[in-house]
Amino acid sequence: MEKFIRCLPKVELHLHIEGSLEPELMFELAERNGISTPYSSVDEARSAYHFHNLQSFLDIYYQGANVLITERDFFDLTWAYMLRCKADNVMHTEIFFDPQTHTDRGIAFDTAINGIYHALRQGEKELGITSQLIMCFLRHLSEDAAFETLEKAKPHLNRLVGVGLDSSELGHPPEKFQRVFAEARALGLKTVAHAGEEGPPSNIRDAINLLHVSRIDHGVKCSEDPELAKELAISRMPLTVCPLSNIKLRVFDKMADHNILNLLNQGLCVTVNSDDPAFFGGYMTDNFIALNNALSPSPQQLAQFTRNAIEASFVSEERKKEMM
Ligand code: HPA
Ligand code: ZN
C-alpha cells in the first residue's frame, strides 16, 4: 500500500509556505543573514516542536519566519517545497503565505511575494507542477491591518487566486473579517478560511454565510453538528483536512480517532493536506501513510481524496480534466 500511496498523484490545497521551513534551511538563512535563532542546533529546533494546541505552535512558527529577509530567501523556501512536491508526486498545489508575518518585521510585501511567485513559476517550467497562491490575513490582528494588507496586494492581483484567514481561531471569528473579504471578492479574488480546526462548527457556518468561502480549511469540527455535516455533503463544500497537523495540535488524541474517513463516507468533499510539514512531521505522502496506518482506507478511498482535491482546486476545467 505504501508503494500505491507514493505513486498516487496528489493535489495539495492547504500548505503554509512558512510552515515548510525546515530547521536546516532556517539555520542556513540565519547564517546568510547574520541573524541568531533561539536554537543551538537542528536537533534542538526539532525537539522544540512539541505543541499542546494551535497557539503553542503559532508562537514557534512565527519566530521561525524571522530568518526570511530577502527575495532569495523566499525563493529558496518555496523552491525546497516544490522539490518535495515532485518527490511526493504532487501535480498541483495551492499555497498560503502570511504577508503580515513579514511586513510587521519591516520586510516589504513585494519581497515576499516576488520570491515565492518566481519559485512557483520555475516549478511549473522545470517540474511540471502547477500552482496558485493565496494570501492569508492573520485573524489575531485587526480588520484595519487586513485592509492595509489587501491594499498592498493590489499591484499583484494577477499573482493571487484568493485570500484566506489563518492564525488563532478562538476569539477571532469570521465576522471580524466580513468587510475585508467582501472587498477581496469585489476585486475578483476567491475566498477560503480556516474554520472548525479548534473553533466551533458555527465558525464553519459563518465562514460560508458571511465570508462566502469556496473551501473550508480544516473544518473537522463539523462532525459536532450533524446537520451541518449533512449540508456540507450536499453542497460539496470542500474541507482541506490536515491529518498530521490535527494530531500534533491535539485536535484528535490519535490518528485512529481522526474523523476524515467518516466524513468521506458521509459524502463530504474532504481532501488530505500537510498544513505546516516542517513542524508537523511530514509532507503529503507522510500524511497519506499516517492515515493509512491508522484507518486502513481502501485504495479507492485514497484515490477519492485526490479526486476531491481536483474538484476543489481553483484551476481551469481543462487542467482539472488533465489531472483526473
Ligand atoms: N491554523 C491556523 N493558522 C495557521 C495554521 C493552522 O493550522 N498553520 C499556520 N497558520
Ligand atoms: Zn493551516
* Tens digits of residue pLDDT in 192-205: 999 999 999 999 99
User: How far is ligand 2, taken at its centre, from the CA of residue 16, in Å?
Assistant: 6
C-alpha cell at 120: 512557483
Buried b (16+ CB within 10 A) or exposed e, 132-151: bbbbbbbbbbeeebbebbbe
pLDDT band at residue 286 under the 50/70/90 scheme:
very high
Please name the residue whose Cα sits nearest to atom 4 of ligand 1: 167
pLDDT value for 132: 98
To test the pocket of ligand 1, the residue of 138, 166, 239 to mutate (highest count of ligand atoms within 8 Å of its CB) is 166
Alpha-carbon torsion (287, 288, 293, 297), positive or negative: positive
Kindly give, in sequence order, each residue whose CB lies less than 8 Å from that of residue 313, ignoring residues fewer than 6 positions away: 11, 13, 92, 94, 132, 319, 320, 323
Average pLDDT over residues 280-297: 98
For the entire predicted model, the pTM comes to 0.98
Known binding-site residues equal 14, 16, 194, 275-276
Distance (Å) of CA 290 to CA 272, 274, 280? 11, 11, 12
> By alpha-carbon position, which residue is closest to atom 10 of ligand 1?
167
Which ligand lies nearest to the CA atom of residue 195 in the structure?
A: 1
CA pair distance 160, 137, nearest whole angstrom: 13
Strand ranges in the chain using DSSP code E only, listed in sequence order? 10-16, 90-97, 130-138, 162-166, 190-195, 215-218, 239-241, 270-272
The finding on whether 54 has its CB within 6 A of some atom of ligand 1 is yes
Q: What percent of the chain has pLDDT over 70?
A: 100
- The pLDDT value given to residue 266: 98
Q: Tell me the CA–centroid distance for residue 134 and ligand 2, in Å.
A: 12
Tens of pLDDT along 159-217? 999 999 999 999 999 999 999 999 999 999 999 999 999 999 999 999 999 999 999 99
Q: How far is the CA of 224 from the centre of ligand 1 (A)?
A: 21
Q: Could you tell me what percent of the chain has a pLDDT over 90?
A: 100
pLDDT of residue 84: 98
Instruction: Provide the CB-side half-sphere exposure for 193 (13 A, CA).
Output: 28
Mutate to test the pocket of ligand 1, among 63, 197, 279 (most ligand atoms within 8 A of CB): 197
Q: Ligand 2 centre and the CA of 162: distance in Å?
A: 15
Binding-site residue set for substrate: 276
Catalytic residue check, 22: no
- Average pLDDT of 257-264? 98
Pocket test for ligand 1, best of 18, 54, 98 (most atoms within 8 A of CB): 54
CATH of 2-323 given 3.40.309.10, 3.30.70.580, 3.40.50.300, 3.20.20.140: 3.20.20.140
Are the C-beta atoms of 78 and 124 separated by less than 8 Å?
no
Extents of the domains making up the chain: 2-323
Q: What is the pLDDT of residue 62?
A: 95
- Amino acid 35: pLDDT: 95
Give the pLDDT score at 104: 98
Catalytic residue among 12, 71, 197, 198: 197
pLDDT band at 249 (very low <50, low <70, confident <90, very high): very high
Q: Rounded to whole angstroms, how far apart are CA atoms 247 and 303?
A: 22
For residue 295, name the pLDDT band (cuts at 50, 70, 90).
very high
Give the position, in ligand 1's atom list, of the atom nearest the Cα of 167: 3
Euclidean distance between CA atoms 240 and 244, whole angstroms: 13
Q: Is 275 in the pocket of ligand 1 (CB under 6 A)?
A: yes
Contacts of 247 (CB under 8 A, 6+ apart): 254, 255, 258, 280, 290
Number of neighbouring beta carbons within 10 Å of residue 100: 22
Q: Which helix (H) or strand (E) holds 258?
A: none
